[in-house]
Amino acid sequence: MPQKELKMTFDPNTIEHLGVRMYSTLPPVLTELIGNSHDADAEHVVLTLNDSTTEKEIIIEDDGMGMSFNEINDKFLRIGRNRRTEDTSENTPKGRKIIGKKGLGKLSFFGVAHEIEITTKKEGKENSFAMKWEDIKTSKKDYKPEIIKKDGSCSKDDHGTKIILKKIQRESDFSPENLANNLSKMFIIDSGFEVSIKHNSDKPIIVSNERRYAGLDKEVEWKIPADSQYSDDYDKASQIVGSLMAAKKPIPPNTNMRGVILFSRKKLVNLPEYFSDSTSSHFFSYLTGWLEVDFIDEFEDDVIATNRQSLNWGHEEMQKLRLHLRGLINWLERDWRKKRDKLREKKLSEATGINISDWFSKLPEDIRTKIEPVIKTIIKDSELPEEAHQEAVKKIHEIVPEYPKYHWRHLHQEIKTASETDYQKRDYYRAFQEAAKRYINAVKTKSGSTNSSEASMMGEVFGNGTSMTLLQVAQNFKKPDGGDFQATTINNIEEGQKFLSMGVVSGCRNPVGHEEIADLRDSNLFTEKDCLDALSLLSHLFSRLDNSQKKP
């Protein structure tokens, strides 16, 4: 039967408690209205914020399916109507999951405005009506909105709803950017559903999912469930989807970004939290993100608070969800520490030119076990500036480089050139052998000796006892006061050069010439320390050779 008037039916104080008191700020109010547009299969929602005059005004306009006059009465003006139980489908005609459930969101606009004007078009009919908060308060039970237009004609192709909020309870000017950022945290925008905000005559801005964490300096991200290796016996784990992130630096508390937001059917149902009894975890100050838990809307009991800011965690099913989320975040913390250390080590390596892992692999165990914890602490200490990290690692690397025992010997450059490759391969015999060859050849070149016996050549080239000596290594040196050293001192140094050089040939070249290098190496007859000691001796002899002169 056609209806002739509009009527809102409600119990005393219902609107006061569920509208004015529950929705006192703009973002939650607009989120409720955007949710209505979503359920009306709108593809575009435009929020217009007018504050260029003394009377502020907000317009919410969509291109959804609109409402007939009867639908306004039977659906929109019925407080507490559960459309999910009354309608035959959980989905809209376009296949969207219906968000609205309690029939209370329509009261939200009275939290920020005292006068509402609604115009809706459907199937060639246009209806308009107005509601005033002061009139509602004086009504005992039934309230009859003012009808502006009833079943007026419009194009059949014209459809949608326009809501104008008047007498806004707000003194400050609107901030469209802040509003867009806040709405992005309260609603997930899917393709085919666009929400834009226009401030006075300014260019519209789009409310996008990317805004939700636009200012976050992200270091690690996990796509859930794809990137999660956490496993328990929760039977709905595979239905939880979203994105969790760890920032490079602690997230400032005043950003309200710390913690994980829960959404159901694209709309916020739980403010950011950690699902843990503890609030002191170091990880919590870095963690943010969102998860969709649509299945909670299908529970027999309603577990979502009326204002969609929290969930009934005392419910048996919700306790299971909370336990799973707690375990997931505990796993995230462990994985975060591993990934963060690797990322920071990589960045540190790139900035310093030092391959940290390679460096550690080239340190003897007794040295590595002392150096590695220091470097790991530097990498993990996020409170230090990156420049300080880098400088500290560089300085330590200068003191303890790869193959530190070799480095600390400060070998003669020719000895290093000849021995370094074999030493790094741990082929200590060959390293000594190649260094000895380099020294023997250098002696031949400088002395001009043609003696084919290497040991005999050393006796011929060095020493101070015969007229056959070709090179002198100590003749150019004077005491600090300019005086000469005693002849016996000079003689001993010259003889020492000879016998040490002959010993190098006898101790290295001859044994190696008759034994397999592998046997000498594996028997520990010639260890790393033996090699380093021998290379140090060769460095000493090479330095003497550099300063030698031919005997007159």
Report the share of the chain in percent with pLDDT over 70. 90
Reference 14, options 129, 131, 112, 139; nearest CA is 139
What whole-number distance in Å separates Cα of residue 531 and Cα of residue 420?
11
The pLDDT, as a whole number, for residue 12 is 44
- What is the mean predicted confidence (pLDDT) over 487-514? 82
> In which band, very low, low, confident or very high, does the pLDDT at 317 lie, cut at 50, 70 and 90?
very high
pLDDT of residue 467: 58
User: Considering the chain, what percentage of its residues have pLDDT values greater than 90?
Assistant: 61
Assigned token pair, 162: 């326009």
Residue 125 scores a pLDDT above 70: yes
Answer yes or no: is pLDDT of 1 > 60.
no
Inter-residue contact 531 to 428 (CB < 8 Å):
yes
Average pLDDT score over the chain: 88
> From CA 123, how far away is CA 65, in angstroms rounded?
9
Whether this model's pTM surpasses 0.75: no
Residue 137 host element (H or E): helix 133-138
Q: Report which secondary-structure segment, H or E, holds 127.
A: strand 125-132
- Convert the pLDDT of each residue in 289-305 to its tens digit: 999 999 999 998 999 98
More confident residue, 46 or 505: 46
Q: How far is CA 176 from each of CA 29, 171, 179, 183, 518, rounded to the nearest angstrom? A: 15, 15, 5, 10, 77
pLDDT digits (tens, 9 = 90+) for 235-259: 999 999 999 999 998 999 888 899 9
Give Cβ neighbours of residue 330 (< 8 Å, ≥ 6 apart).
none
Dump pLDDT digits (tens) for 5-27: 777 665 546 655 555 566 778 89
Q: Which residues face 224 on adjacent strands?
A: 242
- How far is the C-alpha of 38 from the C-alpha of 194, rounded, in Å? 10
In angstroms, rounded to a whole number, what is the distance separating the alpha carbons of residues 31 and 38? Answer: 10
335-389 pLDDT, tens digit per residue, is 999 998 888 888 889 999 999 999 999 999 999 999 999 988 888 765 678 888 8
CA pair distance 427, 421, nearest whole angstrom: 9
Least confident of 178-182, 197-201, 316-320, 460-464: 460-464
Sign of CA dihedral 484, 486, 488, 493: negative
pLDDT tens digit sequence for 506-543 = 877 655 555 666 776 677 788 899 999 999 999 999 99
| Phi, psi (degrees; rounded to nearest 5) at 496 | -60, -40
How do residues 53-111 score in pLDDT, each as one tens digit?
888 999 999 999 999 999 998 888 877 666 555 666 788 999 999 887 656 666 778 88
User: What pLDDT is recorded for position 514?
Assistant: 57
Report the distance separating Cα 17 and Cα 210, nearest Å: 34
How many Å apart are CA 99 and CA 33, to the nearest integer? 11
